[in-house]
Structure 1
Amino acid sequence: MKNPIEVRKIQMAGKSSLAVTIPKRWAEVLGISAGNPVYLEFRGYEVAILPALMVHEVEVQRIIEVKPNETSDSVIRRVISAFIKGAQIIRVKFLNGTNRELIDEVTREISVRVPIVETISHGNGEIKVTVLSPTSSMPIKSFISKMSNVVSGMFKDALSLIKMNPEERLSIARDIMDRDYDVDRNYMLIHRLINMAVNGVINIRSIEIDDRSELLSCLLVSKSLERSGDHSWRVAQWMLEVGAVSVDVADTILKLGDEVSNLHKSAVLAFLSKDVDKAQEVLDMRNEVTNARVKVNNLLKLHGISGPLNLVIESIGRLAAYAYDIAEITLDTYL
């Protein structure tokens, strides 16, 4: 069927309810018949009918059997995958004789890296992770806003290291790197909620999304923010290897960083507010930001500077690129 449209009259059903019939051939395509339950979803100007048979149940439990010689990173990656797919309980089973240090390391990493974990218990060579069930309201865009704020702070603080003495940078750099975990946790939570919404486990209204077409856009924006967080902590990491920098070089880099930071925040705000004009303004800044990067690179060449500081400029450029990506997603979604 290609987007068929039929006219039906609304009928009274009981004293206060209204009813409408659907064509028999539609019901056959959907695999429903009289007596089958269906979900109704109000979408502002339309009502969608979703057969309950098409709605997947929450994946109650995922069992992960640790392979011989498997590293903690590999185990954690599988735990994260199970979390993102919506598992409520994740059991990690280790082989007999597994080094206790590996179990303890995996337990610590889960507590740090996996969000909304209710309990973590272990015994008899097994780690049991129980994830909190979705609440009645978990607005995805508020998590995107939080990610943006954290990334903005990380990026600003990472760039500020350029004016500090090299020996003063370490504690701030470590704090920036720790904040990246917060960005990653928010991204994983968003990815999990979107998967659950796509599979019909939760209603899109519970995550404050108006239309299913926004789900993919939210995932793409959150991924751009997650990558922006990665580049922000890399700036901090590389700043630890940068020696003393002259005032004119530092000021020029900070000016470029401020321009990119404002661009990045504007792109996210445009998406959250569905403002296509603001998104276009972000894209219109491409040439200006590119020229600013060229100016910085020329200044570094003039001073004979290479190495870590060039990698810092590269990461600043990557944040600008992610801002453009977010602006384009906004246009593609809301224009």
Structure 2
Amino acid sequence: MVSISEVLLRKVQLVGGSTLAISLPKNWTRRVGLKPGDYVFIALESDGSLRITPKSRERPKKPETVLTIKREFSKGAVVREIMSRYLAGYKVIAVRFEGEAYRYRRYLKDVVYKKLIGVEFLDENVNEIVLQVLVNVEELPANTILRRMGRIASGMLIDAVESLDSAVPEKLVDIVERDDEVDKLYLYVLRQLNAVSRGYLKLNEVGLMGIEETLQYGVVAKSIERIADHAQRIAQCILEMCEQKMVIEPSMSDTIKDFGKAVRELFRDAVKSFVNRDRVEAHSIIDSAYQKLTKYEREIIDAMVASRTNAYANMLLRLIVDSIKRVMDYSIDISEATLDLTVKD
């Protein structure tokens, strides 16, 4: 039996004086049921490789799956089960509730609305909900999705740090809620990359040049999603300070704001260098990041030492500074992914 991961060597033969041909592995043809006279699809990938698929094994247009929610499932388990099927590429997900598990219905519907792109409720009764994914994963190239994620996360970050000395609760709540949009796009691009790795989509349909690039694109998407989470945390900390009527000394807030703005520029440049495959810019971002961190870290420590802010406010400020530093770390990860993406033999 031929292993799925086995690489076979075949000699190219000249047939009919001008046609080049190779033989197909016998074990493979038996396993997929291929016979003389059958047709196969040959996909020309952008990395120069070929993908051969028997016509009889053409992927169904609307693969379906059934998920049974048992009464002992936690809310987290319900979400993870739904997400795994969404990422696997299913177009129709039938969710059936066992016993008292129906109590998760409202929670499940809220999660689907907030976290999944293009998912609609096709049918619904007391014991079952049927979800249909209407959006096709090839409709948006991967770079377009990453740019969109980057713009939203960048906007969240700058709006959050700007609120440090001029907090408006409604604006901060809006920043917190914007994280759902980034999560939607993150899950969408993972579904897309998974479809490529499984052979459901060709590389050029999503803008990739090689199957190995799915790794770098996954790393960058995850980094942007985490950056949005930290922007959300900054907004939540400032919202707490606002509700507690805490006053931050101007020197402290100005220093943290300057740090946040500098890191936000780093993040924007990192995303831009990745989608543009700019290796030189990626090196520049990594080199300058550590210089900026050293400069602002010293200024922030000095400001905190001189500050008269109470202990609870200082704790929230430390959380904000830590999140900004994490954004910088993830921006470096994006730049390193750019180097991995553009390395030449």
**Pair 1:87-2:90 in alignment:** yes
SS in 1 for 2:163: helix
Aligned counterpart, 1:240: 239
Aligned mate of 2:75, from 60, 64, 72:
72
State how far apart, in whole Å, the 2-side matches of 1:154 and 1:10 are: 62
1:154-303 equivalent positions in 2, closer than 5 A: 154-165=156-167, 168=168, 170-242=169-241, 243-291=246-294, 292-303=296-307
Aligned counterpart, 1:15: none
Structure 2 letter corresponding to 1:27: P
Q: Determine if contact 1:56/1:200 at 8 Å carries over to the other structure.
A: no
Q: Deviations over 1:86-133 (max 9, x none)?
A: 11111111124555x532232222122211114343104111100115
State how far apart, in whole Å, the 1-side matches of 2:335 and 2:54 are: 36
Relative distance call for 1:133 and 1:258 in structure 2 (3 A) is closer
Q: Determine if contact 2:65/2:93 at 8 Å carries over to the other structure.
A: yes
Shift of 1:252: 1.0
Aligned mate of 2:335, from 320, 327, 330:
327
Note the residue ranges of structure 1 that are not aligned, 5 or more in a row.
13-17
Scaled by the length of structure 2, the TM-score of the pair is 0.85
Scaled by the length of structure 1, the TM-score of the pair is 0.87
Q: Determine if contact 2:137/2:192 at 8 Å carries over to the other structure.
A: no
**Pair 1:307-2:322 in alignment:** no
State how far apart, in whole Å, the 1-side matches of 2:235 and 2:220 are: 23
Q: Deviations over 1:42-91 (max 9, x none)?
A: 34573514333897846822222112143434312211111011111111
Q: Deviations over 1:253-301 (max 9, x none)?
A: 1111111001111111111000100110111013212212232133112
State how far apart, in whole Å, the 2-side matches of 1:4 and 1:74 are: 44
Q: Determine if contact 2:71/2:100 at 8 Å carries over to the other structure.
A: no
SS in 2 for 1:241: helix
State how far apart, in whole Å, the 2-side matches of 1:11 and 1:296 are: 76
Aligned counterpart, 2:53: 51
Relative distance call for 1:3 and 1:260 in structure 2 (3 A) is farther
Shift of 1:29: 6.7
Q: Determine if contact 2:161/2:260 at 8 Å carries over to the other structure.
A: yes
Shift of 1:33: 6.5
Deviates more, 1:174-183 or 1:43-52: 43-52
Structure 1 letter corresponding to 2:107: E
Q: Deviations over 1:12-36 (max 9, x none)?
A: 8xxxxx85301x3x63475467545
State how far apart, in whole Å, the 2-side matches of 1:54 and 1:234 are: 50
Q: Determine if contact 1:113/1:181 at 8 Å carries over to the other structure.
A: yes
Q: Determine if contact 1:61/1:90 at 8 Å carries over to the other structure.
A: yes
Q: Determine if contact 2:142/2:189 at 8 Å carries over to the other structure.
A: yes
State how far apart, in whole Å, the 2-side matches of 1:331 and 1:39 are: 34
Structure 2 letter corresponding to 1:201: Y
Deviates more, 1:145-154 or 1:247-256: 247-256
Structure 2 letter corresponding to 1:219: G
Relative distance call for 1:135 and 1:219 in structure 2 (3 A) is closer
Q: Determine if contact 2:69/2:101 at 8 Å carries over to the other structure.
A: no
Q: Determine if contact 2:137/2:188 at 8 Å carries over to the other structure.
A: no
Shift of 1:213: 1.8
Relative distance call for 1:293 and 1:50 in structure 2 (3 A) is farther
Q: Determine if contact 2:120/2:133 at 8 Å carries over to the other structure.
A: yes
1:91-102 equivalent positions in 2, closer than 5 A: 91-98=94-101, 102=104
Aligned mate of 2:153, from 151, 154, 164:
151
Relative distance call for 1:133 and 1:239 in structure 2 (3 A) is closer
Structure 2 letter corresponding to 1:311: L
SS in 2 for 1:309: helix
Q: Determine if contact 1:40/1:50 at 8 Å carries over to the other structure.
A: yes
Give the paired residue count. 324
